[in-house]
Amino acid sequence: MKTKRILSLFLCAAFIMITFTNKVNASSPAADIDTIEEDASSTPTIDPNNYTLDELNTYTETLISNKWGKDQFQFRVYEDCVVIDLWGDGIADFAEMAKTNAEYKDLWDSTVESMRDMSELFYGQYSNFDMDTYVYVLNDKNLDNVLIMTMDGVRIFDCVNDDEDTGVTIDMTRMRFR
């Protein structure tokens, strides 16, 4: 049941990422739901009641790769955590537009919530191995800057909602995982 929920949430997050990428980059084709469902059917499965860390890592990395493509994510495993970096063409521009346009802001907030949910669901699996789960959405123009940061289902940072007054940017070169 948890595996199906992770896949379902991940599909939702992928759809949201595709949607805002398409809004920002009008030249890209709209996502086709049949394509998303087809990708889901090719994702390997694991027994949610009996799996090893290696199986979970393979499942997680394959799931992310199927949704974002090999050139728009990085999956890293450490002794005490996993780190999922995601980025997409136009996401930095989308974040800028979300700061001044209510329609984009609503979609951005949905994206932040989906990333938080994704980190919570993956944490539900990785916590069985005493591991934390970090999900970062990175600036596509500078992968050293974070736009959204979540840990174990908690939103830590969101560049649209958190830096309105301060202009704070999180530089990943100073973070533990870079």
- Band (18; pLDDT cuts 50, 70, 90): very low
Which tokens is 66 given? 């199927």
pLDDT at 163: 57
User: Is the predicted pLDDT of residue 127 greater than 90, yes or no?
Assistant: yes
Domain housing 142? 2-174
Which tokens is 114 given? 């989906």
User: Is the predicted pLDDT of residue 85 greater than 60, yes or no?
Assistant: yes
pLDDT at 35: 43
Contact, 129 vs 57, CB < 8 A? no
| Cα 22 to Cα 30, 56, 106, 151, distances in angstroms | 6, 31, 16, 27
How large is the average pLDDT for residues 101-108?
A: 93
pLDDT at 68: 78
Q: How many residues are listed for the chain in this entry?
A: 178
User: Is the predicted pLDDT of residue 147 greater than 80, yes or no?
Assistant: yes
Residue of 139, 136, 145 whose CA lies nearest to 172: 145
> What is the count of structural domains for the chain?
1
Contact, 138 vs 145, CB < 8 A? yes
d(CA 91, CA 147) in angstroms, rounded, equals 9
- Band (178; pLDDT cuts 50, 70, 90): very low
Residue 50 — left, alpha, or beta (φ > 0 → left; ψ -120 to 50 → alpha)?
A: beta
pLDDT at 32: 36
Q: How many CB atoms lie within 10 A of CB 1?
A: 7
pLDDT at 8: 45
